[in-house]
Each structure stands twice: as C-alpha cells, then as structure tokens.
Structure 1
Amino acid sequence: MGDHKEQPLRVGAAVRRRRRALELTLAVVAERSGLSVPFLSQVENDRARPSQTSLEKVADALRTTAVELLAAADPACSVDVVRCESIEPTPEPQVRPLVRGHHQMHASEFTGDHDAGREFQYRNDQLMYVADGAVEVEAEGRVYRLGRGDTMYLTGGVRHRWRAAEPDTRVLVVAVAEHIEAVHDRPR
C-alpha cells in the first residue's frame, strides 16, 4: 500500500540517458558490447529486459557498472521499500537492486554463481556481506574465502574479482555511489 513503486524496475531510460550523455550512437554501443542495435533499441524502450550478463556488457560499453544503471533506473525518493519477490531458482545468476534511484549509496543482492573472470574496480568504498553460501574474492594479489556472515571491506580503487564457491550463494554488496566524490582524510 505505502510502497513507493510496485512496478518492475525499468533500466531502458537510464541506458539511453547514459548513452546520450557520452554522445554515443546505438551502433557504437552495439559494437563495444557485442549486442545488436535492435536489441539495444528494445532495451532503451523497455520492450526487452536484458539479462545480467547483457546489462554488464552494456554497462562496460557505457563506461559504467550494471549497479549504476540499475540505480539510475528509478528517481530517488526519501522513503522507499524494496520488496523481496519470490524468485524461482535459475541457472543464470541474478542481481536484485536493494536501493532504487540516484542516492549516495547503492546496494545489490547477487544470487547464484558469478563471472569469476570479471574484474571490478569501484571508485568509492564497498562492503561485501555473504548472506548464504560462500565466495572467493581475489584482491591485491591474495585470495580470501568468505563464508556465511563474513564481510569484506574494499577501499575505493581496489581491483578485485569474486565467484560463488557454493551453490545458492547470496552476496550483499553495498557501495558509495560512483557519482559521489569521496574524500579520504590522509595523515599529514
């Protein structure tokens, strides 16, 4: 009843805004992402919903992250409830945004396996929390195994990759938004 939005998240407008801000054509984004122009047009017009893999390809082509595109999909509001929908298990990994709109904080829940070859580097700080299962995170030349209830804090700029180490793994990722200029106090 009091929920801000009860309709599915539509990422098309966010993709179009980002593409236009970079002054790119659909053809350039298609070439960079390996996806077709008709498919990208359908995504921008919310006639097709991209898989997580496709959304990551689009985000890479637009020099951003899938999390940023999802966060920009809905306008910000001061109070918002994101309901957990019953999600049927699929062989494809899933990402569920936990905060909608353009805020200072982004949070997403990753369920299932994850592309271990994909490297991440966020501009600002990030926290990973393992809700279920286990993950292996490679950061700064070391591999860390995190189990249920474990957290890992990554300072902005740290390159890392991670993968699910057990079936039915759920990871919560909370990060300071990319559009925020985080200031770190440095000792003098």
Structure 2
Amino acid sequence: MTDSIGGEFRRIRKEKKMTLKELSERSGLSMSFLSQVERGISTVTFTSVRKIAEALGVSVNFFFEPEEESPIKRKSLKKRADQPNFTYTSLTGDLDQPQFTPARIELKAGESQTAPYSHRGQEFVYVLEGELKVMLEGHEETLYPHESLHIDSSKEHTWYNETDKPVILLVVSTNEGREG
C-alpha cells in the first residue's frame, strides 16, 4: 500500500471529488470515524473496508498492492494487507475486469463488526479455521470449519469473530458495478 489504507481511501475519495459527508452517507459510517481512518488515527474492520470500497465504487482489491507479477498462480498470495483487526490476501488472478474476487481473510480474535449491511452481488464464505458468527436477515448462526455460506448480498448480513482465536476464511464475492 502507499502510506496506509486510510491514505488510499482519502486519495480515491478526492479523485472522485467526493466529500467525507458523501462517503459517510454512501457507506453508512460516521464522518468522524472516516476522518480518523483517513488520518490513521483509527483502525478499520474488514466489514468497514468493504463498506468504504462499495461507497467509492471500487473492489476491495484496489487498496492492496500486488506482491508478484506473474499470470500463473504458483503461490496463493498476490495482494496482502495486515491490519490490526484482520489480514486480507487477494487470490485474484491477473484479469482486467474479474467477475468475482476470491480472497483469504483472517479475522483476528474479537473482530466484531456486528452491524448488518447489504451490497450488490453475491458472497460465498467458507470457514477454513475457527468459528464465524453470521447474521442474515436477523437470524444468527455459527459456522465451523468446513461449513460455508452462499448468499445474495443484497440481503442484510454480517459475519464476524467474537472468539479469542482467529478465524480463517475463503471468501468469494462478485464484482458487480465496481471498478477493478
């Protein structure tokens, strides 16, 4: 990443001539929180990154820089970001406009963004390790290793880790209406 994920948010927001207020309205996150994230004062959860990316009209991958330049995926890592609450590793190949985004996500212990939200497209979540809390249209369940969820993302949902151990997920989401 350039300076920080918050710095990238600010850069894209300004390129799109969007105010903090507009970003707040589109993402559902408060202006003060967004300002703190942009200045590197506050950390961000993966759910918040998804909301901000959606509001900016870009893929989550947009905020992470490639580690290697090869059309062949011999290693599982291409783009990676370590944040205090999560680690995001893109598994996307070198396509100009991919129709879906595969990623490996590790939610650190206690990563608990619990406010449900919706966005365009579909989402597939497969639990590799740990216990993942899932809330879908007001119904809450726990997914365990080797269990999965495939949903229409326009339905109110969230998933999070409220345990004291990390949760590792394989997540595949569609890229409807986003820039690559």
2:168 matched to which residue of 1? 170
Q: Is the 1:33–1:58 Cα contact (8 Å) retained in structure 2?
A: no
1:162 CA displacement: 2.0
Change (3 A) 1:123 1:84: closer
Structure 2 SS opposite 1:56: helix
Change (3 A) 1:97 1:178: farther
1:33 CA displacement: 4.4
User: For the residues of structure 2 that align with 1:125 and 1:55, how far apart are their CA atoms?
Assistant: 15
Structure 2 SS opposite 1:143: strand
Change (3 A) 1:95 1:179: farther
1:175 CA displacement: 0.3
User: For the residues of structure 1 that align with 2:19 and 2:144, how far apart are their CA atoms?
Assistant: 43
Q: Is the 2:121–2:176 Cα contact (8 Å) retained in structure 1?
A: yes
Which runs of no fewer than 5 residues in structure 2 stay unpaired? 25-29
1:20 CA displacement: 2.5
2:33 matched to which residue of 1? 34
Specify which structure has the higher proportion of strand. 2
Q: Does 1:159 align with 2:149?
A: no
2:18 matched to which residue of 1? 24
Q: Does 1:147 align with 2:144?
A: yes
Q: What does the per-residue CA deviation read over 1:56-99, in whole Å, with 9 as the maximum and x for residues that have no partner?
A: 2795497258x83x4113489854552698x8xx9x42131323
**1:90-129 to 2 correspondences below 5 Å:** 92-99=84-91, 103-106=98-101, 107-112=103-108, 113-129=110-126
**1:21-100 to 2 correspondences below 5 Å:** 21=16, 23-25=17-19, 32-36=31-35, 40=38, 51-53=43-45, 56=48, 59-60=51-52, 63-64=55-56, 68=59, 70-73=60-63, 74=65, 78-79=71-72, 81=75, 82=77, 92-99=84-91
Q: What does the per-residue CA deviation read over 1:91-114, in whole Å, with 9 as the maximum and x for residues that have no partner?
A: x42131323576322224132233
Runs of 4 or more above 6 Å deviation: none
**Over alpha carbons, which structure has the higher Rg?**
1
Q: What does the per-residue CA deviation read over 1:145-184, in whole Å, with 9 as the maximum and x for residues that have no partner?
A: 210111111123121122225322222221011426xxxx
Change (3 A) 1:64 1:79: farther
Aligned length: 158
Q: Give the superposed CA RMSD.
A: 4.2
Q: Does 1:130 align with 2:131?
A: no
Which runs of no fewer than 5 residues in structure 1 stay unpaired? 1-8, 43-47, 181-188
